[in-house]
Structure 1
Amino acid sequence: MTGRGGVQSVVLLLIGGALIRTAWTGTYVRYVKPGLQWYLIVAGAVLVLVAAVNLARLFGTAARTGHEEHGHEHGRFEPSWLVVAPALVLLLVAPPALGSYAASHGGTALAAAGTSDFPPLPDGDPVRVSLLEYAARSVFDEGRTLQGRNVTMSGFIVIDGDRRYLTRMIITCCAADARPVKVGLAGDVPPGTAADTWLEVTGTYTPRTDPDPIDGEPIPYVAVGSAHAIPAPKQPYET
């Protein structure tokens, strides 16, 4: 089985298998919004089915033509098979979620929060909030609903000089449209904390802000009370 048709079929087979694998194992949330698992499984199954039908047809054609043509092409390398390598890598190695490199090259995504009125935080001490909610309440509500409250949030570290930003990527559809939301850490963080380290931080509101070096939007800060390293969550993005 040689030629473009065979290459296309194998590529379809590998991509379909990769879709099924990433959806089934849950790693699909590194690339798209949660809730799309079964769409990816169905799409992968369709690709695998199409590839299987094409391969069966190609093998059938090769069997009917006999050994004459096969012997004529024996030992010949088909360069188009090189395109199979990237698809094979996609099947075997799941790329990681976006991290500090992508975040440091994107402006903070506060516009995604809107500027509507903010209700009081729910009961609890501390109360868990997303980074986007904390940033929006800090900037658009000037911290009024955060005053006197302890909040807990999590994200990965982005380093900019001597500043440490707790960061999450916000997605609308998939990783291709991801933008970071950043909250500066005022106070002590675990020593030696490197970029991309995931932290859970508990702290209180502080009016300090920095202009984002990418788009000039304000990056609010949280006064850190405690912080500790955590494993990267299964769902790394906020939506």
Structure 2
Amino acid sequence: MLRICLVFVLLLPSVTLAAERLSGQVNVIDADTWDVGGIRVRLHGIDAPELDQACQDDEGSTWPCGAWVTQEVRQLFQGKTASCMPVDRDRYGRVVARCMYGVQDAADQLVRLGLAFAYRKYSHAYESAEKEAKARHVGLHRQQVQVPWVHRAARKSASSNGCRIKGNISAKGEKIYHIPGQTFYANTRINTSSGERWFYSVVAARAAGWRASRRRNLYESCMKLIRVKAGSSERVYA
């Protein structure tokens, strides 16, 4: 009897969360994170580019895909009324929920329009919607896009790695990467909103269209780390 009661107590918070349906006016923070009636909500089962994420077009030029997709979602849902059923709470304290706009599943609509990806790590509900969007080459599927979870992992690695590579764009539009130990590394500032990027290997920088800085007096320890990571796969495209 005690065991049954203990299990019930442990499950009670999730049962309570699932029972509290949210509804209210939508304020789009980014493509997959909304305020619904003043409550911060992360849409369940999908993932969209980060607000500051840059992507490449077919010609190798960068474009602010994160800002673009957020604007598209705002045009669709900003100020509308949504009803959301919570399923979890994430580590940032956001309510993870399935949200409906009228009779439509908002997440399903975003995936079908190519504005988000099926987040298979947490749900397989939107796989068919993503396949349809890919087949029609709509939204993000018209270009090469690094899926958001890979982008975040690369950014986290770059921020914690002692040997970070800066992908700078010069005043003449040249894409140049700088490695710690080079002359201009410390003074180089990266602005992701203008298409500049961080890389954690030379392979990734070159594959994205950046060339090496001609200032090549590198630290040996940095080179060793780059050689170790150069053989790993850096990019995943959806």
For normalisation by structure 2, the TM-score amounts to 0.24
Structure label with greater radius of gyration: 1
- Ranked by relative contact order (alpha carbons within 8 Å, sequence separation 6 or more), the top structure is 1
Structure with more helix by fraction: 1
